[in-house]
Amino acid sequence: MISMAGITVSSSWTCDNLLACFTIGTNHEPSIMDDIVEQDKCICLTCTEDLSNNPCTIDIIADRNSGMAFKTVHVVSQSRLLEVFGNHGEYLSTFPGELFDEFEDTCIYTTKIKLRSPLTTLSIKFTRLKDKEFWIYGIYLTKINVSSQSSRSIQQPGDQQNTNSQHAMNNMPPPSLMQFQNLLQMTSNEELLSNLLSTFGSSVSKDVKGNVCSTDKSFVNAEKSNVCSTDTSFVNAEKLSEPPSVEKVSMKDIECVIDKELRNMERKILNHVDARFDALHNKMDLMFAKLEMLYHNNNLKGTEENTNNGNNNLKETEENTNNGPHVCQARNAVSQ
């Protein structure tokens, strides 16, 4: 971790001067060339491990006593797609970048991260990196002033080590239910939490009850038909092996259901976004290929026309040269 006035930053990749790329201000629409990108703000991050197991992430934490939170973040980098995570490592959103410049097969993108609510802690994940060296040309943090008490209530960060371990995974998982419960508890609204859990509990109970009735009905009927030919001890054993009561559905079952749904939701969204970006990228490549072909054909056509004009001029010159003696003979005949 590296600290400067008001913030602490860290990265999963290696960088000697990570803080150099950061600028803190109050402008919500900063100028890219004047406020963000400068020569001394360009940094290079290096991956020392396998790319698939070590995604590039940057964690930004505002000091609790700084009295500030972040509302907007502008990033100028080589990544065209950024994922943002909140105070507790929970996934917030994915932000696409706009192409700013391109030179020597290097593309520079500008990405505006507009947060729904101010945050004092956030993590930025740079996706789709193909090389182990990655350049960031500037990061502008738009701050807002908040009271110290509000800053503490906004922040309440979770375990930083746990957050880093989540970022180190190949595919970033959605937030667990424990983080979701902590987020609800932060709002100091116990009634909301109890109502939410009771709603999930009732829905899960109905599902479990329906599954038990549908799957065990034939089994119970078969056991009843066999009880007549068995002794009393076997009947008691069958009673002990009955499925647990629906009312005993534990909190762990609810956690599993919610976590599974969140994972499926994130996977579908990311797959959809990736497919759209790939299709757009292929379409742009096709358009550039057509433009290059058209430009090449126009140049070739112009070259052929110039060659034909040169041949025609040469032919006229030869004709004039051949007709010269005949003209002289005709003049001599007329003079005689």
pLDDT in tens, 181-230: 555 455 445 555 555 556 555 655 555 455 544 445 554 454 555 544 44
Question: Which range, 73-87, 225-239, 309-323, is most confident?
Answer: 73-87
Position 156 pLDDT exceeds 50: no
Cβ pair 80, 109 in contact under 8 A? yes
pLDDT category of residue 172 using cuts at 50, 70 and 90: very low
- The pLDDT value recorded for residue 198 is 61
Both tokens of residue 252? 């762990």
The Cα 157–Cα 228 span in angstroms is 63
Higher pLDDT, 147 or 263: 263
Position 120 pLDDT exceeds 50: yes
Cβ pair 83, 45 in contact under 8 A? no
Pick from 173, 94, 104: nearest CA to 126: 94
Position 334 pLDDT exceeds 60: no
- The pLDDT value recorded for residue 312 is 72
By mean pLDDT, which of 23-37, 240-254, 299-313 is the weakest?
A: 240-254
The Cα 77–Cα 38 span in angstroms is 13
Position 298 pLDDT exceeds 70: yes
The class (CATH top level) of 2-157 is mainly beta
Position 81 pLDDT exceeds 60: yes
Residue 218 CA to its chain's centroid (Å)? 49
- Name the burial class of residue 34, with classes exposed (0-12), middle (13-18) and buried (19+) by CB atoms within 10 angstroms of its CB: exposed
- The pLDDT value recorded for residue 110 is 94
Q: Could you identify the residue written with the tokens 């116990």? A: 190
Q: Where exactly are the structural domains of the chain?
A: 2-157
Average pLDDT of the segment spanning 222-249: 49
Position 317 pLDDT exceeds 90: no
Position 157 pLDDT exceeds 70: no
- The pLDDT value recorded for residue 186 is 52
Amino acid at 330: A
Position 115 pLDDT exceeds 60: yes
Average pLDDT of the segment spanning 67-77: 92
Residue 241 φ/ψ region, left for φ over 0, alpha for ψ in the -120 to 50 degree band, beta for the rest: alpha
pLDDT in tens, 8-46: 999 999 998 898 999 998 888 888 887 888 888 899 999
- What torsion do the CA atoms of 85, 87, 92, 97 make, to the nearest 10 degrees? -50
Average pLDDT taken over every residue of the chain: 74
- The pLDDT value recorded for residue 17 is 87
- The pLDDT value recorded for residue 49 is 85
Cβ pair 184, 199 in contact under 8 A? no
Position 254 pLDDT exceeds 60: yes
